[in-house]
Chains A and B, each alone.
Chain A
Amino acid sequence: MRTAFIEELVRLAEQDERIWLVCGDLGYSVIEAFGDRFPKRYLNAGVAEQNMTGVAAGLALMGKTVFTYSIANFPVIRCLEQIRNDVCYHNLNVKIVAVGGGLAYGSHGYTHHAVEDIAVLSLLPNITVAAPGDPVEARAVTRVLASRPGPAYLRLGKAGEPVLHSAEIVAVYGKAIIMRDGQDMTLISIGGMLANTLSAADKLTQAGYSVRVVSMPFAVPLDEDAIRSAVAETGVVLTVEEHGIGGLGTAVGECIARSGGTAVFVPLRLGRYPIKTAGSQEQLRASQGLSVEGIVHSAEDAYRRRTPMH
């Protein structure tokens, strides 16, 4: 996803000279593509994320569209007050990009697990929060964010994620992407969980279920129409995210409650406590019920609990 992002950003920067890339001394072998091409619009701010974000705000006050870039929590939680006060309060054109969202840095340990980012940033004013599901979505969402003024957060995976869309797509701001339609249940995925979610849907389809799969690249603004439709038309809704409480599941749950509709609703997400043991991304996902099999199991269980009307 990170390569897709950089390639797209370089393309956009060719056409829009306001675009800057500011990194926090991370991005080796990835972001040189931008720095080499646009040295006057590239900045390595050093291992200093608070200043990096303040500098980005200053550049945005000068009319720039600034992408800050680092890994996991560093460009987000380390400098949260700069994001809140300097960027979001001033409604500035700063896009915060975190590589290695979720458990992508599996064995690196909890310091490198970006598992509260969506919740934390969703609380802030004026911000768009996005987590694309594959490299195709990463490119499409990058285009959307670059074209809209105002603060944004872009959670990316790392490298080598499977391409899940058969062709390039046009992302629509705040809109979900219906990957497959179905009537028995809806799986709503955000970010890098899309691959496992689609694989789980394959298995559920083989087992005879009609499964709707929704990719939700925008946590803020949330596509509430897609959620209400899922409730009304399938009656069973599961959210799938590599994130703790406060993310997609929490937002979808609130949306369902406010809509007055009824559904069996199961948020699949990480537990409340840090993962303190090593493991690959897939192993850690599995330990939290987010493997393909874990999703299938939870979906079948949810389907059994549905009301007879559906």
Chain B
Amino acid sequence: MTTVQRLSAVAQTLRAYAVRMVHRSHASHLGSCLSIADILACLYWNSLRIDPERPDLPERDRFILSKGHAAAIVYAALAERGFFPVKELETYCEFGSRLTGHITRGVPGVELSSGSLGHGLPVGCGIALAAKREELPFRTIVLCSDGELDEGSNWEAILFAPQHNLDNLLLIVDYNKIQSFGRVKDVLDLDPLADKFRAFRWAVREVDGHNMQQLVDTFSEIPFEPGRPSVVIAHTVKGKGVSFMEDDLAWHYKSPTAEQVACALQELGEGA
């Protein structure tokens, strides 16, 4: 199996975890989880310099999930990668569990609690600034949603990062074109998004967020330009991997029935 095939298989496994977790807890945001499965597989199994045995290692890369509502699949990635037992995923959103519906620091491997949008990039800028000034070699990676770019705080940070030459910072935009109440182009259109980032002096790459080869290659090339922060605009499909969830706003909210879970797992190659 090639690296790309292996990573794609991991992504399918993560999707299956997310489907089961969201079903079990009657939670939501499944579509938002599925759109970032390939990105997470590439980061956690290929691109990030991390050690699950030592989650607090000072020289680790920092990954911040700014779209905190996609917590389920990040927890799945962390558990599957060995940060904590996979068995614990069954407690997702259960009373007393540390695996809350929005991602929470304290879970091994989680750098920042988020949930309200527009927080991850400013915090990531602070981490990257400290690393830059002290010449620490790690990278800071922030994953945000497209709807999240409505938040003014992000644009403050997008101004800030090039001002301070934060080429140790990577922003990944999960551009699945759907935000919580409709199509991005109908709510607050972001396009031309790449041009906006270029105008703000970021080094920009656009990728198919489900093409593992592109993800592997792109993440291996940061910084794209010395002295500039990097942004990857990942064109994705909300609900990717489960045919009846793809590109459908409803799966921002719905929890799948047992029957739907069986269908979904079959499509993901896991059987019922």
B121 at interface, CB cutoff 8 A: yes
A-B pairs with beta carbons under 8 Å apart, 23 shown: A46-B156, A50-B153, A51-B153, A51-B157, A51-B160, A54-B125, A54-B157, A55-B125, A55-B129, A57-B123, A58-B124, A58-B125, A58-B129, A61-B111, A61-B123, A61-B127, A62-B126, A82-B122, A85-B119, A86-B112, A90-B105, A90-B112, A90-B113
Across the two chains, which residue of chain B brings its CB closest to A47? Answer: B156
Q: Which residues of B contact A55 (CB under 8 A)?
A: 122-123, 125-126, 129, 157, 160
**Is the pair A62, B127 in contact by a Cβ cutoff of 8 Å?**
yes
- B138-154 CB mask vs A (1 if < 8 Å, else 0) is 00000000000000110
- In Å, the complex CA distance between A135 and B152 comes to 37
**Is the pair B160, A45 in contact by a Cβ cutoff of 8 Å?**
yes
- In Å, the complex CA distance between A82 and B123 comes to 9
Q: Which residues of B contact A86 (CB under 8 A)?
A: 112, 119, 122-123
Q: Interface residues of B toward A: which range?
A: 20 to 34
Overall SS of chain B's interface: helix
A43 at interface, CB cutoff 8 A: yes
- In Å, the complex CA distance between A57 and B127 comes to 8
B159 at interface, CB cutoff 8 A: yes
Q: How many residues of A contact B (CB 8 A)?
A: 24
**Is the pair B159, A59 in contact by a Cβ cutoff of 8 Å?**
no
- In Å, the complex CA distance between A82 and B112 comes to 12
**Is the pair B112, A51 in contact by a Cβ cutoff of 8 Å?**
no
Across the two chains, which residue of chain A brings its CB closest to B133? Answer: A40
Name the distance in Å between A58's Cβ and chain B's nearest Cβ.
2
- In Å, the complex CA distance between A112 and B115 comes to 31
B131 at interface, CB cutoff 8 A: yes
Interface residues of A in 32-72 (CB under 8 A from B): 40, 43, 45-46, 48, 50-51, 53-62, 64
A81 at interface, CB cutoff 8 A: yes
Q: Which residues of B contact A85 (CB under 8 A)?
A: 113-116, 119
B128 at interface, CB cutoff 8 A: yes
- Extra contacts, 14 of them, besides A54-B153, A55-B125, A55-B129 (Cβ < 8 A), are A46-B156, A51-B125, A51-B157, A51-B159, A51-B160, A54-B123, A55-B126, A58-B124, A59-B127, A59-B129, A61-B127, A64-B130, A81-B119, A90-B105
Which residue of the partner chain, among B105, B126, B131, B163, contacts A56 with CB atoms under 8 Å?
B126
